[in-house]
Amino acid sequence: MNEIKKIKPAAVFTDLNMANRLLECIARISSTISVKKLSFQRRLDIILQVILDYLGADHGSIMILENKKKLVVKAASKSELIGKEQLLSSNSIASWVAQSGKPLFVPDITKDKRFKGRGKGYKKKSLLSVPIMSENKVAGVINVTDKTGSKDLLNDDIAYLLDFSSLLLWAVMQENLHTELKKQRNTLKKRNQELRCQEKLKANLSSSLIHDLKGPLSEVVANLDILSYSIADDNKEFLESAQLGCDRAVSMVSNLVSIDKIEDGKLKLLREEIKPEDLLQESIISIQGLAKIKDVKLIIDPLGFLPPLSLDRILIFRVLQNLLTNALSYAPNGSTIHVGCQQPAKNTHLEFYVIDQGEGIAPDSQQIIFKKYARISKKNDNLTGTGLGLFFCKLAVNEHGGEIGVESIPGQGSRFYFSIPLTLVKQRNI
């Protein structure tokens, strides 16, 4: 029969004591890493001290690998070592561990030929150095030297130091993530500042261009108007074409001015009481010349009783004008455009609409046409634009508390509509 070896109570007590101490150290390190208010430097200082206390050593350091080229001391029992650097190519213990990715126990540094001349400055000859590993890659190194008392560091201490290194990796990864996030935030902040600067420059340029264009355009319009009284009948067609071109240019400039004011919150609505039928008639008259060129008929659908509206006449007139011009851009020669206004049953708004017989708009395009600078390209598009017309319409209608939209089936034309709330009108008139 095999003899059962008796375990001495003192040995059991020692093992339990070491295990409890190890658990306490792990708990202290974990709680230190979790404290958000502590700096990375302070966390490493506390963790290093916990490790040295557990191993019963006087000195040690924590080094972090930077740029895959050098180890930098981030925490050390000797404060003068903090910030010191060691190249991976150097003949040092930490560099050897970082390059090999293996822990190292040196029982007598003075006799190890690999590190000749590195034994100075140590009280005792033995030392430990283990890598801090992250997915098979070295993130740093922990060094421990000069065990207190009469005993030296042992090879068995490597296992404990590796346990601590895995916890330390948590702190390193947390700091790397924090640094990366901070770097990204700074990059985004800088980029946002650049974008704001560019937007400001664009806004200033836009304002300058608008201001510079208004004068010359007004002169051209006035001169064309004077010329219309003396021009021969056979040349009137060319004059009318020039006048229409100027009208469109003036409309574009007006859109830009209004968009800038609305976006800056500087536009004040000049409300007045308007009959919907009068507004429709004015908008039709304003683009009759353009419709004549394309041989397109403009028809106002029969109107029932419609209450007057309190709105900014110029803005809403230009909304209708933009929608009609947009319809003409895509309407086939010889087609018809219908405009009208209606009050849906038991509803609190009036709805204006413009219906064309063009190619229609694809569902995915219907979601973007009211965005700034959005424009759908067509092969047979004879008219050019800035992509701001419908965006202006949306802003102007929204300023009145209304909504704008489009209904369209490709190949069957489009119906643009916008609403002006009647409840808002009543409240304004009280």
When the pLDDT of each residue in the chain is averaged and rounded to a whole number, the result is 82
Number of Cβ within a 10 Å radius of residue 352: 25
- Burial category of 250 from C-beta neighbours within 10 Å (exposed 0-12, middle 13-18, buried 19 and up): middle
| pLDDT higher at 98 or 108 | 98
Closest CA to 81 of 104, 106, 63, 54: 63
DSSP code for 311: E
Closest CA to 29 of 50, 11, 15: 50
Give how far the C-alpha of residue 167 lies from the chain's centroid of Cα atoms, to the nearest Å.
35
Q: What is the pLDDT of residue 427?
A: 44
Number of Cβ within a 10 Å radius of residue 390: 24
Mean pLDDT of 61-67: 90
Q: What is the pLDDT of residue 210?
A: 65
Mean pLDDT of 295-313: 93
Q: What is the largest CA-CA distance in the chain?
A: 135
Task: Report the distance separating Cα 126 and Cα 371, nearest Å.
Answer: 72
* b/e map 287-325, b = 16+ CB within 10 Å: beebbeebebebeeeeeeeeebbbbbbebbbbbbbbbbb
Task: Report the distance separating Cα 352 and Cα 358, nearest Å.
Answer: 19
Mean pLDDT of 262-272: 83
Q: What is the pLDDT of residue 236?
A: 73
pLDDT one-digit tens code per residue, 100-153: 999 998 888 878 878 766 666 677 788 889 998 888 888 889 999 888 776 777
Beta carbons within 8 Å of 372's beta carbon, 6+ residues apart: 259, 387, 388, 391
- Burial category of 112 from C-beta neighbours within 10 Å (exposed 0-12, middle 13-18, buried 19 and up): middle
Mean pLDDT of 356-363: 92
Give the CA-trace dihedral at 112, 117, 122, 125, to 10 degrees: 20
Residue 379 pLDDT greater than 60, yes or no: no
Task: Report the distance separating Cα 135 and Cα 264, nearest Å.
Answer: 52
Mean pLDDT of 190-204: 83
Q: At what angle do helices 276-286 and 313-330 cross, to 10 degrees?
A: 50
The most confident of the ranges 196-200, 254-258, 361-365 is 361-365
Closest CA to 73 of 95, 89, 55: 95
Estimate the share of the chain in helix, then strand, then coil, as percent rounded to the nearest 5. 50, 20, 30
Least-confidence region, from 59-68, 132-141, 156-165, 355-364 = 156-165
Specify the CATH architecture of the domain 9-181. 2-Layer Sandwich (3.30)
Mean pLDDT of 31-42: 83
Task: Report the distance separating Cα 179 and Cα 133, nearest Å.
Answer: 19
Is 45 within 8 Å of 75 (Cβ atoms)?
A: yes
**AA identity, residue 68:** K
The most confident of the ranges 55-59, 249-253, 258-262, 316-320 is 316-320
Task: Report the distance separating Cα 58 and Cα 266, nearest Å.
Answer: 71
Q: What is 267-429's CATH number, 3.90.1170.50, 3.10.450.50, 3.30.565.10, 3.30.950.10?
A: 3.30.565.10
**AA identity, residue 277:** E
Residue 275 pLDDT greater than 90, yes or no: yes
The domain ranges of the chain are 9-181, 267-429
Closest CA to 389 of 318, 330, 285, 294: 318
DSSP code for 203: H
Mean pLDDT of 38-65: 88
Ranges of beta strands (E only) in 210-335 are: 271-274, 297-300, 309-312
Mean pLDDT of 194-215: 74
Give the pair of three-digit tokens for residue 320. Answer: 């209708």
Q: What is the pLDDT of residue 284?
A: 93
Is 360 within 8 Å of 408 (Cβ atoms)?
A: yes
